[in-house]
């Protein structure tokens, strides 16, 4: 197998890029010829960013799983599709060849059907990183059900909100999940999420930890029992549902600047082509390579670069259940050594955390199989970049710094491994089909350099195949969030710099969204959760630089009465109580790192919180707060400065 649209040289990149912007429809329709269609499209692209409307390959019929499984069965059915490494290195790993994965997906598609699930239904998937998660996702796609995977770190309340928003009728989960030393009781979280829920009809439970679980008659069924029924009927194939190119493939919830997560919707055809194209080109995958993306499938990175990108390329993808630091901080290097991994794709936060353990855990592992390294999720600082380059890549592996978002479905700005130049902490060049533009707050293109660089808000001018199609159940929200800030542009929410070569460096969010360990967290969501805690009068949440997480969460909280001497205990205890509330409402990933009790917040005369000031204080820039004369009560600033944690 070879990839006719794999870019092989810098010159070819430049040529392809040029072609892709001169005639995007023609460019993508040529690439799309290399996929399996049940019916070809009549219109390659139809769009306007006003509504917004983005339609690619209109009229085409397909099923993404035929492109990820069926088309490889004959020639490469016996090559590994998924290599699964368990949490505990003592436990045996599993290998699913394309043939095996196909069978399992078809069987589980029958299970879904037998349980009343059909095309268009929303299925919530809340599982640990086991092969059954991949099987569940693909089986949904096979029957045309819309999957919505929820990361295992979200709380019952978050799940409940998402179930309601998606009007989901079905759930696939596990009894529990292993993560390092922890055993997370997933089914029990689901049970809490289902209290009072009236839409969910069936919960399918896969066995992993064999933690005791409650199984409600008529609602809850065991994965294994259901599979047995299918096996006794001798069913091994499942005809792939015929999907329209623009039918939704999945929903993935993500945070924004409002208090409520948005259900980002991706389509079947455009998403497939873009995930595949970017996987093959950015990582320069060669048949036989082992690709190890360390993300969780609960995030977009796992969707696109553990599952759909690699599988649609007939690649071998490695799926890891555990965490980078258990049983020790050499776990990634152990896996690279054990499976002769060729491509390693991880997050700057993981690199920084592993750096902290020194070189001891790296030594003694043979990393010579590595050819390409990648990072994603947040800007990578130069120190981490150099450590990754020297100690992991041994200076012979190109590092791809891939910038993209849940909404973009795949990588938009990145160097191509070994093909286009890398530059430490720069994402560099746009991929073919991607037309970035930097604008000022009024939406005018930045044409003047500042200290030798263009600096502005990062927008995209033209749709690429995996553009967000809508936010589930609320198209207007999609418009106002992404397409209304600047006319005729998709606004990313990120700020960026551009140099004279056209290289981009993403500097971080310009909205009220935090990036904590590569996870996107809306400050408004955290504030809502804190404010739900009894005794909290008001709160304001900002980010601050954190050595390992990139950004930490800093919360300023007004607590009723005096938090120092309170009938509920000491300030420390109240802090713990508040953390508990945030864990209940959102999940442990949103817990503030610091909580400072204050008697007031800096507000303008119209009552708006001056976050700029709070951010500066949290960042430690106490002497450089700028103009505070417009504040209602300038005295609170001194109090807050003095109480800084
Ligand atoms: C936000 C998107 C895309 C998968 C992981 C996160 C930040 C992402 C980079 C990068 C600098 C990056 C941006 C973006 N981001 N990659 N290479 N350099 N920043 O997906 O949760 O949708 O978050 O992550 O701020 O907007 P997400």
pLDDT in tens, 489-541: 999 999 999 999 999 999 999 999 999 998 999 999 999 999 999 999 999 99
Q: Could you tell me the pLDDT band of residue 564, with boundaries at 50, 70 and 90? A: low
Strands 519-522 and 536-546: unpaired
Residue nearest to atom 8 of ligand 1 (CA): 377
Q: At which residue do the structure tokens 């059907």 appear?
A: 113
Q: What is the pLDDT of residue 565?
A: 53
Q: Ligand 1: does its nearest atom lie under 6 Å from the Cβ of 165?
A: no
Q: Ligand 1: does its nearest atom lie under 6 Å from the Cβ of 516?
A: no
Q: What is the DSSP string of 84-126?
A: EE-SSTTSPPEEEEHHHHHHHHHHHHHHHHHTT--TT-EEEEE
Q: What is the pLDDT of residue 182?
A: 95
Which contiguous run of DSSP H or E holds residue 162?
A: helix 156-166
Centre of ligand 1 from the C-alpha of residue 523, in Å = 16
Of 520, 551, 590, the one to substitute when testing ligand 1's pocket (max ligand atoms within 8 A of C-beta) is 520
The count of residues in the chain is 645
* pLDDT tens digits, 285-294: 999 999 999 9
Q: What is the pLDDT of residue 568?
A: 65
Strands 550-559 and 536-546: antiparallel
Helix 24-32 / helix 269-282 crossing angle, nearest 10 deg: 90
Q: Could you tell me the pLDDT band of residue 127, with boundaries at 50, 70 and 90? A: very high
67 CB-side CA count, 13 A: 28
Say if CB 65 and CB 72 are below 8 A apart: no
* pLDDT tens digits, 228-237: 999 999 998 9
Centre of ligand 1 from the C-alpha of residue 287, in Å = 28
Residue nearest to atom 24 of ligand 1 (CA): 377
Q: Ligand 1: does its nearest atom lie under 6 Å from the Cβ of 410?
A: no
What is the arithmetic mean of pLDDT over 425-443?
97
Centre of ligand 1 from the C-alpha of residue 400, in Å = 14
What is the arithmetic mean of pLDDT over 462-481?
98
Say if CB 273 and CB 324 are below 8 A apart: no
* pLDDT tens digits, 101-122: 999 999 999 999 999 999 999 9
Centre of ligand 1 from the C-alpha of residue 139, in Å = 28
Q: Count other C-beta atoms under 10 Å from residue 612's C-beta.
A: 14
Gap between the Cα atoms of 220 and 497, Å rounded: 52
Task: State which ligand 1 atom lies nearest to the alpha carbon of 493.
Answer: 26
Q: Ligand 1: does its nearest atom lie under 6 Å from the Cβ of 63?
A: no
* pLDDT tens digits, 266-277: 999 999 999 999
* pLDDT tens digits, 160-178: 999 999 999 999 999 999 9
Greater confidence (626 vs 472) lies with 472
Q: What is the pLDDT of residue 563?
A: 53
Among residues 184, 159, 96, 87, the alpha carbon closest in space to that of 132 is found at 96
Of 251, 274, 303, 376, the one to substitute when testing ligand 1's pocket (max ligand atoms within 8 A of C-beta) is 376
Distance linking the first and last C-alpha atoms of the chain: 57
Gap between the Cα atoms of 125 and 108, Å rounded: 14
Q: Where in the chain is the domain with CATH 3.40.50.980?
A: 66-241
Q: Ligand 1: does its nearest atom lie under 6 Å from the Cβ of 312?
A: no
Residues paired with residue 154 on neighbouring β-strands, in sequence order:
587
pLDDT higher than threshold 70 for residue 549? yes
Q: Sign (positive/negative) of CA torsion 100, 103, 106, 111?
A: negative
Q: Where in the chain is the domain with CATH 3.30.300.30?
A: 513-642
pLDDT higher than threshold 70 for residue 562? no
Centre of ligand 1 from the C-alpha of residue 302, in Å = 13
Q: Ligand 1: does its nearest atom lie under 6 Å from the Cβ of 254?
A: yes
Instruction: Provide CATH code, domain 66-241.
Output: 3.40.50.980
435 CB-side CA count, 13 A: 17
Q: Ligand 1: does its nearest atom lie under 6 Å from the Cβ of 403?
A: yes
The domain made up of 513-642 is a member of CATH 3.30.300.30: yes
Q: Ligand 1: does its nearest atom lie under 6 Å from the Cβ of 376?
A: yes
What is the arithmetic mean of pLDDT over 570-575?
91
Q: Ligand 1: does its nearest atom lie under 6 Å from the Cβ of 226?
A: no
Of 506, 514, 517, 543, the one to substitute when testing ligand 1's pocket (max ligand atoms within 8 A of C-beta) is 506
Residue nearest to atom 14 of ligand 1 (CA): 405
Gap between the Cα atoms of 480 and 543, Å rounded: 24
Q: Ligand 1: does its nearest atom lie under 6 Å from the Cβ of 493?
A: yes
Q: Which two tokens stand for residue 518?
A: 């590569």
Q: Ligand 1: does its nearest atom lie under 6 Å from the Cβ of 406?
A: yes
Residue nearest to atom 19 of ligand 1 (CA): 378
Q: Ligand 1: does its nearest atom lie under 6 Å from the Cβ of 127?
A: no
Q: Ligand 1: does its nearest atom lie under 6 Å from the Cβ of 301?
A: yes
Residue nearest to atom 27 of ligand 1 (CA): 405
Which contiguous run of DSSP H or E holds residue 492?
A: strand 490-498
Among residues 338, 348, 271, the alpha carbon closest in space to that of 303 is found at 271
Which are the contacts of 596, defined by CB distance < 8 A and separation ≥ 6? 554, 555, 556, 557, 640, 643, 644, 645
Of 374, 513, 515, 589, the one to substitute when testing ligand 1's pocket (max ligand atoms within 8 A of C-beta) is 515
pLDDT higher than threshold 70 for residue 152? yes
* pLDDT tens digits, 573-603: 999 999 999 999 999 999 999 999 999 999 9
Gap between the Cα atoms of 617 and 636, Å rounded: 12
């Amino acid at each position: 197998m070879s990839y006719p649209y794999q870019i092989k040289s810098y010159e070819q990149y430049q040529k392809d890029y040029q072609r892709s912007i001169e005639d995007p429809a023609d460019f993508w329709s040529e690439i799309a010829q290399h996929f399996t269609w049940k019916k070809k499209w009549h219109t390659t692209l139809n769009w306007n960013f006003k509504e917004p409307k983005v339609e690619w390959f209109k009229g085409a019929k397909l099923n993404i799983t035929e492109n990820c499984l069926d088309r490889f069965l004959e020639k490469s059915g016996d090559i590994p599709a998924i290599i699964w490494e368990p949490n505990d290195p003592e436990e045996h790993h599993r290998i699913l060849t394309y043939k095996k994965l196909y069978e399992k997906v078809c069987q589980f598609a029958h299970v879904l059907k037998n349980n009343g699930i059909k095309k268009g239904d929303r299925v919530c998937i809340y599982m640990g990183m086991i092969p059954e998660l991949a099987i569940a996702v693909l089986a949904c796609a096979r029957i045309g059900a819309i999957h919505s995977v929820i990361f295992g770190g979200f709380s019952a309340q978050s799940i409940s909100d998402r179930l309601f928003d998606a009007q989901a009728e079905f759930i696939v989960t596990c009894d529990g999940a292993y993560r390092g030393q922890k055993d997370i009781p997933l089914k029990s979280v689901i049970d809490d999420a289902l209290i009072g829920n009236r839409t969910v009809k069936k919960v399918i439970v896969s066995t992993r930890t064999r933690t005791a679980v409650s199984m409600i008659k008529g609602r809850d069924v065991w994965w294994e029992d259901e599979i047995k029924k299918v096996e006794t009927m001798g069913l091994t194939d499942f005809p792939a549902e015929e999907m329209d190119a623009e039918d939704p493939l999945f929903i993935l919830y993500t945070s924004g600047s409002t208090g409520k997560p948005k259900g980002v919707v991706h389509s079947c055809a455009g998403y497939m082509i873009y995930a595949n194209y970017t996987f093959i080109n950015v990582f320069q995958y060669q048949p036989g390579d082992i690709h190890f993306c360390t993300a969780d499938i609960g995030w977009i990175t796992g969707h696109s670069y553990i599952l759909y990108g690699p599988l649609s390329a007939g690649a071998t993808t490695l799926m890891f259940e555990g965490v980078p630091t258990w049983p020790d901080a050499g776990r990634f290097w152990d896996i690279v050594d054990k499976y002769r991994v060729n491509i390693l794709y991880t997050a700057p936060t993981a690199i920084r955390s592993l750096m902290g353990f020194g070189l001891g855990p790296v030594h003694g592992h043979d990393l010579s199989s590595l050819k390409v390294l990648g990072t994603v999720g947040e800007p990578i600082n130069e120190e981490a970049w150099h450590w990754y380059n020297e100690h992991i890549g041994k200076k012979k592996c190109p590092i791809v710094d891939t910038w993209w978002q849940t909404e973009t479905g795949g990588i938009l700005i990145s160097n191509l491994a070994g093909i286009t130049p890398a530059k430490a902490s720069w994402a560099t060049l746009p991929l073919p089909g991607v037309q970035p533009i930097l604008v000022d707050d009024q939406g005018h293109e930045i044409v003047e350099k500042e200290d030798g660089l263009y600096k502005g808000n990062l927008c995209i001018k033209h749709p690429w195949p995996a553009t967000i199609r809508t936010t589930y159940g609320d198209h207007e929200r999609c418009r106002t969030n992404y397409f209304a800030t600047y006319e005729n542009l998709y606004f990313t929410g990120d700020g960026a710099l551009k140099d004279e070569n056209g290289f981009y460096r993403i500097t971080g969010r310009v909205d009220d969204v935090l990036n904590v360990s590569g996870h996107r967290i809306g400050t408004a969501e955290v504030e809502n959760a804190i404010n739900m805690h009894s005794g909290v009068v008001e709160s304001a949440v900002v980010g601050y630089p954190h050595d390992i997480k990139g950004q930490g969460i800093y919360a300023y909280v007004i607590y009723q009465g005096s938090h120092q001497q309170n009938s509920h205990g000491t300030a420390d205890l109240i802090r713990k109580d508040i953390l508990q509330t945030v864990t209940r409402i959102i999940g442990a990933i949103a817990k503030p790192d610091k909580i400072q009790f204050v008697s007031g917040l800096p507000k303008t005369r119209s009552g708006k919180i001056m976050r700029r000031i709070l951010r500066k204080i949290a960042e430690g820039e106490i002497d450089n707060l700028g103009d505070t004369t417009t504040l209602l009560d300038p005295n609170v600033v001194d109090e807050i400065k003095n109480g800084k944690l």
